[in-house]
């Protein structure tokens, strides 16, 4: 009897501890994140490495929030360049000057970036690397007569064999005008370069610009496997000047602020108020007179 | 979990950082890299100036660290009343593409921490008469150019901005609900009771551009996500919509986009016979509809699976 | 009116009297109802407007309809003390003060109930700090406060001679009460110069109050008519509200003067003849009101435009039909039919129909405010039904605060009746050419209520 009882107790103990252990194991199961790197070269200065940390949950991707990403110059992760925490979208961007970028160049003339998500309570670590070669875009803006505007862009790419920049032939370039939330395409969605690495587009005349007619024209090689993203930007006076209709809120109106009430309303309402309350003050002064008459009478 | 909430909170603070930066340094019009926000404790912030150069700016010169909470609130309120300079925001909603997936509403609710008793964005089942075609009509705030809600507000708590957005200052609203009665589109909703508690929102400085943290006894509504537009991003509904129903853009630039497609606004409205809802009431909305012709998928009332939630307005 | 022989007789009849048991019970009841309302309001302050049945669609409820009711009934002050006075209707002199008391008590509570309706009453000063003159609410605040000020002056100034009389003649009263009369009477001696100022002021105010009174109810109607909603989007609303207000105000005066006559035994002053005349007046006002009601519903119902159609169907044959037709039948039709007969204008039947008119008027305000909110443009309403999200029935909290506000206005009226002569003694004396009798001090009437 007694042994039976201890046996059952032991059995229960084992069962409970197994359960607890299982729970702990479950609680400690970390999410394996994914890391994606992309490279963007702005022709007028900065280069960016954008890192995006995400995990797959069911069918959807979820940003990994709160993780730190280290950027390294070598595969062994010995030469740290920078560590940054991601934002709420699981993204972070490192800005590089040309000199900074050169430090990532390897012997073949490629830029090679290494990055790693540092593990934390929730996430396991993850690594990614990206190799890109140098590419450049330049553009000419030709206005032939009053109405015909032609945009000619040239793509040059680094050739590892000759270690020289050569024209990037048959490559898709995006071209457009920079807008608040997007790029307004000019020409086709993608325009393939010719053997000289060039595209030529006639530019529409009716695109609204700023008040001086300036447009920011963008020519872009988008997310290319070998060269990353290369973006050329230039402000050109090719737009229709925006006739700045004066701020509608500056005029006096029913929907204006308190300081912008229509004049007739201010005048009418204040004169009614002044007239009536003035009269009421006069009445109250009459009461004062009554009181004075009363006290002088006694 | 902890870290999630922490970052979300820091995101909410980002707006404040940008406001300070912009106020302090007009020559640098946009903050590209503000990871070194208040939580990293770095000494400098890296900014990209408008001519594409990298600038390392001493945080102290941006007065980010020295701003008191009251000053921060004040700066945010001034910014919120002014609007985003030079912009005139407009939306185009393509009814032919809507199949009542409600991803827009879900994303809106999540990102604005909207409690279950209200919606900023509704997808209505519409049928003008017995024989006419039924269709789904997603409805945001119309941000009217002649907003009846703004006209009746007694205290300037709801206001029209230069960029066309109609916002609410929940710290000024007296809760008379005249604006709710005045809006012919039933857009406005009310904080009838104490707002739901969210750990993420603790200590967040109130910003009218986000309407967060919520204030009891005040009115709220769809705000076109100015915090997203400021960053050059689409509002949450447009970002979440799997069918590309929502287009947003700047009317001055005559361009609207749903993230994957971009159109000249005037051309799109002309080609697709765009219209504004209930033109006869004269409110001049800034939201346009493209009629539900040549639908992407046929109208199916059984798509109304989540609709109990859409229509839910009861509160405890 | 039986002839009065002296001022003393007059003052003995009309001076304030201590309440008897009935009066005390009445007052206690009102105080309890008000306290109950205050407790409910405490809960509302603590938990917000979520203690009400209002929702995002039906965003205004009985607080607002009750506000409209208060504004309506307060309009009677201008009807009796201005319009009848200026048209030289001498018979209405004994009613002037009753009307002004009703006006002051109700306009006060109109102001209070609108604060109760606010989501953030703690920010009420924002109205003055940030007030926008473009907003009809600001106009309403201005006109309500102006009307309150004029009503108080119109109540107070004609009281001066009476207060002086009470100061001089009432001896058996507590010292504070005597002191109150002394301060409030402003050292009134009844000199010709004082009377001259008094008459001038009262006549002037009687003129000024007319546009302000029309203004107060017209502006209140604009709170609705300035919106883009079916049923409210009406050009008829201003005069409609004013006409309805005169009806309920006149009924209020009839009701109150019946109670005063019954419990203060004032048959000599509030004669059958006055009841008869008030009855005729109420018939006329009701018919004018009916005319506006027909205007308000006939043409929209004829056209059945989108936006009005579902509302009108709901009112005529839908969920609101019982209340709608109940108000028309019991609040207007039957009272008018009764009052058309001379016997129907006798005090008791008139009292009964006047109360029917008042109750009908309260529910009419409910019908003005709430059904429209059941029929917004969006969500679009199919088959003229009401979407399930739209519903409203006031909660216990709303009822108890609303009833407390009604009780509160009655309490104010009760208190004013207790300490002020509610029929103007000096004006009756003036009309009856009674000479002051300074020799015999007044003896307080032994018979209490």
Q: Could you read off the pLDDT of C37-95 as tens digits, one per residue?
A: 999 999 999 999 999 999 999 999 999 999 999 999 999 877 787 888 888 888 888 89
Which tokens go with C297?
Answer: 């519903």
Are residues B13 and B133 both part of a single domain? no
- Examine the pLDDT at B29 and tell me if it is beyond 60: no
3-state helix, strand, coil in chain C (%, to 5): 75, 0, 25
Q: Name the pTM for this structure.
A: 0.85
Does the beta carbon of B55 lie under 8 angstroms from any beta carbon of chain C? Answer: no
Q: What is the pLDDT of residue B308?
A: 43
| Euclidean distance between CA atoms A245 and A239, whole angstroms | 17
Q: What is the pLDDT of residue B309?
A: 42
Which tokens go with C370?
Answer: 């709430």
For residues A49-74, average pLDDT? 86
Does the beta carbon of B139 lie under 8 angstroms from any beta carbon of chain C? Answer: yes
Contacts of C237 by beta carbon, 8 Å cutoff, 6+ apart: C221, C222, C224, C225, C296
Angle formed at CA C193 by CA C189 and CA C199, multiple of 5 degrees: 95
Contacts of residue A183 in chain B, CB cutoff 8 Å? 262
Q: Give the three-class secondary structure for B189.
A: strand
- Examine the pLDDT at B278 and tell me if it is beyond 50: yes
Ranges of residues in chain C whose predicted pLDDT is under 50: 1, 383, 437-449
Compare all CA atoms of chain C with the CA of B153 and give the residue at the minimum distance: C135
List phi, psi (to 5°) of B287: -115, 130
How many structural domains does chain B have? 2
Identify the band that residue A297 occupies on the pLDDT scale cut at 50, 70 and 90.
low
Lowest mean pLDDT among A23-32, A200-209, B165-174: A23-32
- Residue B266 inside a domain? The answer is yes
Q: What is the pLDDT of residue B10?
A: 42
For residues A158-187, average pLDDT? 89
Which of B161, B262, B286 is the best residue to mutate to test the A interface, defined by the most A CB atoms within 10 Å of its own CB? B262
Identify the band that residue A103 occupies on the pLDDT scale cut at 50, 70 and 90.
confident
Q: What is the pLDDT of residue B265?
A: 96
Residue C198 region by backbone torsions, left for phi larger than 0, else alpha for psi between -120 and 50, else beta: alpha
For residues A100-122, average pLDDT? 83
- Examine the pLDDT at B9 and tell me if it is beyond 50: no
Q: Which of A279, A280, A290 is opposite residue C194, by nearest beta carbon?
A: A290
Are residues B231 and B281 both part of a single domain? yes
Query: To the nearest whole angstrom, how far is the Cα of B42 from the nearest Cα of chain A?
Result: 11
Are residues B256 and B119 both part of a single domain? yes
- Residue B204 inside a domain? The answer is no
List phi, psi (to 5°) of C245: -65, -40
Are residues B63 and B125 both part of a single domain? no
Contacts of B78 by beta carbon, 8 Å cutoff, 6+ apart: none
Which tokens go with C132?
Answer: 């926008």
For residues B14-27, average pLDDT? 41
Contacts of C415 by beta carbon, 8 Å cutoff, 6+ apart: none
Eight-state DSSP code of residue B172: T
Q: Is A287 in contact with C157 (Cβ distance < 8 A)?
A: yes
Does the beta carbon of A277 lie under 8 angstroms from any beta carbon of chain C? Answer: yes
Residue A26 region by backbone torsions, left for phi larger than 0, else alpha for psi between -120 and 50, else beta: alpha
- Examine the pLDDT at B205 and tell me if it is beyond 90: no
Q: Looking at chain B, which subunits does it touch, using at least 3 CB pairs closer than 8 Å as the criterion?
A: A, C
Which tokens go with C111?
Answer: 């102001």
Nearest of C240, C382, C227 to residue C297 by alpha carbon: C240
Are residues B51 and B7 both part of a single domain? yes
Contacts of residue B252 in chain A, CB cutoff 8 Å? 208, 242
| Euclidean distance between CA atoms C356 and C236, whole angstroms | 25
- Residue B74 inside a domain? The answer is no
Q: What is the pLDDT of residue C338?
A: 96
- Examine the pLDDT at B175 and tell me if it is beyond 80: yes
The DSSP code sequence of C322-346 is HHHHHHHIIIIIHHHHHHHSTGGGS
Are residues B120 and B190 both part of a single domain? yes
Pick the CATH number of C7-267+396-432 from 1.10.10, 2.30.30, 1.20.1630, 3.30.160: 1.20.1630
Are residues B56 and B6 both part of a single domain? yes
Residue A238: HSE in the Cβ half-sphere, 13 Å Cα cutoff? 27
- Residue B251 inside a domain? The answer is yes
Residue B21: HSE in the Cβ half-sphere, 13 Å Cα cutoff? 27
Compare all CA atoms of chain B with the CA of A63 and give the residue at the minimum distance: B4
Which tokens go with C204?
Answer: 């002037």
Compare all CA atoms of chain B with the CA of C61 and give the residue at the minimum distance: B177
Are residues B255 and B142 both part of a single domain? yes
- Which neighbouring-strand residues pair with B264? B255
Q: What is the pLDDT of residue A16?
A: 61
Q: What is the pLDDT of residue B131?
A: 86
Q: What is the pLDDT of residue C18?
A: 85
CATH number of the domain where residue B302 is located: 3.30.70.20
Are residues B104 and B49 both part of a single domain? no
- Residue B40 inside a domain? The answer is yes
Contacts of residue B151 in chain C, CB cutoff 8 Å? 134-135
- Examine the pLDDT at A265 and tell me if it is beyond 80: yes
| Euclidean distance between CA atoms C372 and C366, whole angstroms | 10
Measured in whole angstroms, how far is the alpha carbon of residue C319 from the centre of its chain?
A: 29
**Do you know the residue count of chain A?**
298
- Examine the pLDDT at A189 and tell me if it is beyond 50: yes
Beta carbons of C208 and C77 less than 8 angstroms apart:
no
- Examine the pLDDT at B152 and tell me if it is beyond 50: yes
Where are the alpha helices (H) located in chain B, listed in sequence order? Answer: 2-24, 69-82, 103-111, 148-152, 178-182, 226-230, 236-240, 265-272, 307-311
Identify the band that residue B294 occupies on the pLDDT scale cut at 50, 70 and 90.
confident
Contacts of residue B285 in chain C, CB cutoff 8 Å? none
pLDDT digits (tens, 9 = 90+) for B88-102: 999 999 999 998 999
Domains of chain A plus CATH, in order, are 34-132 (2.60.40.1940), 135-236 (2.60.40.10)
Beta carbons of C444 and C148 less than 8 angstroms apart:
no
Contacts of residue B127 in chain C, CB cutoff 8 Å? 380, 382
Are residues B57 and B117 both part of a single domain? no
Residue B127: HSE in the Cβ half-sphere, 13 Å Cα cutoff? 13
Does the beta carbon of C149 lie under 8 angstroms from any beta carbon of chain A? Answer: yes
- Examine the pLDDT at A138 and tell me if it is beyond 70: yes
- Residue B156 inside a domain? The answer is no
Does the beta carbon of B172 lie under 8 angstroms from any beta carbon of chain C? Answer: yes
- Residue B17 inside a domain? The answer is yes
Q: What is the pLDDT of residue A24?
A: 54
Q: What is the pLDDT of residue C5?
A: 66
Are residues B63 and B93 both part of a single domain? no
Beta carbons of B201 and A288 less than 8 angstroms apart:
no
Q: What is the pLDDT of residue A23?
A: 53
Where are the alpha helices (H) located in C157-235, listed in sequence order? Answer: 160-169, 175-184, 192-225
Which of C131, C159, C185, C194 is the best residue to mutate to test the A interface, defined by the most A CB atoms within 10 Å of its own CB? C194
Contacts of residue B6 in chain A, CB cutoff 8 Å? 66
Contacts of residue B174 in chain C, CB cutoff 8 Å? 118-121, 123-124, 126-127
Q: Which residue's structure tokens are 């059984």?
A: B302
The DSSP code sequence of chain A is -HHHHHHHHHHHHHHHHHHHHHHHHHHHPPB--EEEEEEEEETTS-EEEEEEEEEEETTEEEE--S-EEEEESSTTS-SEEEEEE--TTSEEEEEE-HHHHHTTB-TTS-EEEEEEEPP-SSB--EEEEEEE--EEEEEEEEE-SSS-EEEEEEEEEEETTTTEEEE-TT-EEEEEEE-SSSEEE-SSSSEE--TTSEEEEEEPS--B-STT--EEEEEEEEEETTTEEEEEEEEES-SBP---PPPGGGS--TTS-GGG--HHHHHHHHHHHHHHHHHHHHHHHHHHHHHHHHHHH-
């Amino acid at each position: 009897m007694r042994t039976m009882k201890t046996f059952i107790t032991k059995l229960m103990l084992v069962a409970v501890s197994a359960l607890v252990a299982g729970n702990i194991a479950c609680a400690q199961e970390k999410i394996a994140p994914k890391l994606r790197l992309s490279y963007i070269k702005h022709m007028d200065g900065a280069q960016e490495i954008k890192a995006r940390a995400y995990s797959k949950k069911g069918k959807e991707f979820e940003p990994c929030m709160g993780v730190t990403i280290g950027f390294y110059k070598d595969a062994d992760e010995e030469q740290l360049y920078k560590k940054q925490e991601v934002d709420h979208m699981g993204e972070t961007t490192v800005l590089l000057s040309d000199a900074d970028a050169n430090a990532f160049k390897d012997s073949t003339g490629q830029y090679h970036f290494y990055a790693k998500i540092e593990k934390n309570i929730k996430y396991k670590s993850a690594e990614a690397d990206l190799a890109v070669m140098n590419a450049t875009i330049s553009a000419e803006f030709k206005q032939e007569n009053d109405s015909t505007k032609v945009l000619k862009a040239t793509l040059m790419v680094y050739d590892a064999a000759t270690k020289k920049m050569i024209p990037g032939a048959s490559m898709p370039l995006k071209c457009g005008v920079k807008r608040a939330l997007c790029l307004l395409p000019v020409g086709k969605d993608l325009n393939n370069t010719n053997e000289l690495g060039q595209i030529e587009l006639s530019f529409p005349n009716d695109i609204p610009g700023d008040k001086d007619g300036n447009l920011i024209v963008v020519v872009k090689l988008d997310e290319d496997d070998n060269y990353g993203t290369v973006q050329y930007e230039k402000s050109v006076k090719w737009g229709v000047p925006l006739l700045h209709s004066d701020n509608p809120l500056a005029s006096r109106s029913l929907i204006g602020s308190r300081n912008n009430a229509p004049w007739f309303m201010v005048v009418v309402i204040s004169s009614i108020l002044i007239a009536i309350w003035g009269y009421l003050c006069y009445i109250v002064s009459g009461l004062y007179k009554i009181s004075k008459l009363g006290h002088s009478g006694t | 979990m902890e870290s999630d909430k922490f970052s979300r909170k820091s995101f909410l603070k980002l707006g404040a950082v940008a406001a300070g930066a912009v106020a302090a340094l007009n020559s640098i019009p946009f903050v590209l890299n503000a990871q070194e926000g208040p939580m990293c404790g770095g000494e400098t912030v890296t900014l990209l100036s408008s001519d594409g150069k990298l600038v390392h700016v001493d945080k102290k010169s941006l007065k980010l660290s020295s701003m008191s909470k009251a000053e921060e609130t004040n700066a945010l309120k001034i910014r919120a009343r002014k609007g985003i300079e030079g912009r005139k925001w407009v939306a185009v909603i393509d009814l032919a593409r809507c199949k009542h997936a409600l991803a827009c509403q879900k994303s809106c609710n999540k990102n604005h921490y909207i409690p279950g008793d209200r919606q900023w964005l509704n997808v209505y089942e519409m049928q003008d008469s017995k024989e006419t075609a039924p269709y789904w009509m997603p409805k945001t705030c119309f941000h009217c150019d002649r907003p009846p809600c703004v006209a009746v507000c007694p205290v300037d708590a709801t206001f029209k901005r230069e960029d066309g957005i109609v916002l609410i200052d929940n710290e000024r609203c007296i809760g008379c609900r005249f604006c709710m009665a005045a809006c012919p589109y039933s857009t406005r909703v009310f904080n009838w009771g104490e707002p739901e508690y969210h750990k993420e929102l603790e200590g967040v400085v109130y910003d009218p551009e986000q309407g967060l943290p919520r204030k009891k006894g005040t009115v709220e509504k769809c705000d076109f996500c100015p915090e997203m537009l400021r960053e050059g991003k689409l509002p949450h509904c447009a970002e979440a919509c799997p069918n590309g129903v929502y287009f947003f853009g700047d009317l001055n630039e005559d361009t609207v986009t749903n993230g994957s497609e971009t159109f000249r606004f005037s051309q799109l409205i002309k080609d697709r016979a765009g219209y504004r809802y209930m033109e006869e009431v004269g409110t001049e909305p800034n939201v346009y509809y493209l009629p539900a012709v040549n639908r992407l998928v046929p109208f199916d009332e059984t798509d109304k699976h989540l609709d109990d939630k859409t229509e839910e307005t009861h509160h405890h | 009116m039986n002839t009065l022989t002296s001022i003393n007789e007059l003052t003995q009849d009309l001076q304030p009297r201590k309440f008897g048991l009935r009066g005390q019970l009445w007052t206690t009841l009102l105080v309890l109802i008000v306290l109950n309302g205050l407790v409910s309001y405490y809960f509302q302050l603590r938990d917000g407007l979520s203690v009400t049945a209002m929702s995002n669609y039906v965003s205004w409820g009985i607080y607002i309809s009750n506000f409209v009711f208060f504004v309506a009934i307060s309009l009677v002050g201008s009807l009796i003390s201005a319009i009848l006075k200026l048209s030289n209707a001498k018979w209405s002199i004994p009613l002037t003060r009753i009307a002004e008391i009703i006006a002051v008590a109700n306009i006060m509570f109109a102001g209070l109930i609108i604060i109760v309706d606010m989501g953030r009453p703690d920010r009420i000063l924002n109205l003055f700090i940030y007030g926008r003159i473009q907003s009809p609410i600001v106009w309403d605040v201005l006109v309500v406060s102006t009307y309150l000020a004029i009503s108080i002056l119109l109540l107070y100034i004609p009281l001066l001679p009476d207060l002086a009389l009470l100061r001089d003649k009432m001896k058996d009263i507590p010292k504070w009460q005597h002191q109150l009369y002394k301060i409030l009477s402003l050292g009134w001696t009844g000199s010709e110069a004082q009377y001259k100022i008094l008459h001038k002021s009262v006549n002037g105010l009687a003129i000024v109050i007319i546009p302000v009174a029309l203004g107060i109810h017209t502006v209140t109607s604009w709170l609705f008519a300035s919106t883009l909603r079916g049923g409210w989007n009406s050009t008829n609303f201003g005069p409609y509200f004013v006409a309805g207000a005169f009806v309920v105000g006149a009924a209020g005066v009839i009701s109150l003067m019946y109670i005063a006559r019954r419990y203060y035994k004032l048959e000599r002053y509030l004669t059958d003849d006055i009841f008869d005349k008030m009855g005729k007046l109420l018939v006329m006002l009701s018919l004018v009101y009916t005319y506006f009601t027909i205007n308000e519903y006939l043409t929209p119902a004829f056209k059945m435009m989108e936006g009005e159609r579902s509302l009108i169907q709901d009112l005529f044959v839908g969920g609101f039909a019982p209340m709608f037709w109940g108000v028309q039948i019991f609040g207007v039709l039957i009272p008018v039919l009764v009052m058309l007969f001379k016997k129907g204008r006798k005090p008791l039947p008139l009292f009964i129909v006047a109360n029917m008119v008042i109750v009908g008027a309260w529910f009419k305000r409910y019908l003005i405010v709430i059904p429209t909110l059941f029929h917004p443009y969006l969500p679009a309403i199919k088959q003229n039904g009401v979407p399930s999200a739209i519903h409203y029935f006031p909660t216990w909290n709303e009822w108890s605060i609303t009833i407390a506000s009604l009780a509160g206005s009655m309490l104010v009226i009760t208190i004013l009746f207790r300490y002020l002569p509610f029929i103007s003694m000096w004006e009756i004396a003036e009309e009856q050419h009674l000479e002051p009798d300074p020799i015999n001090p007044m003896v307080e009437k032994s018979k209490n209520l």
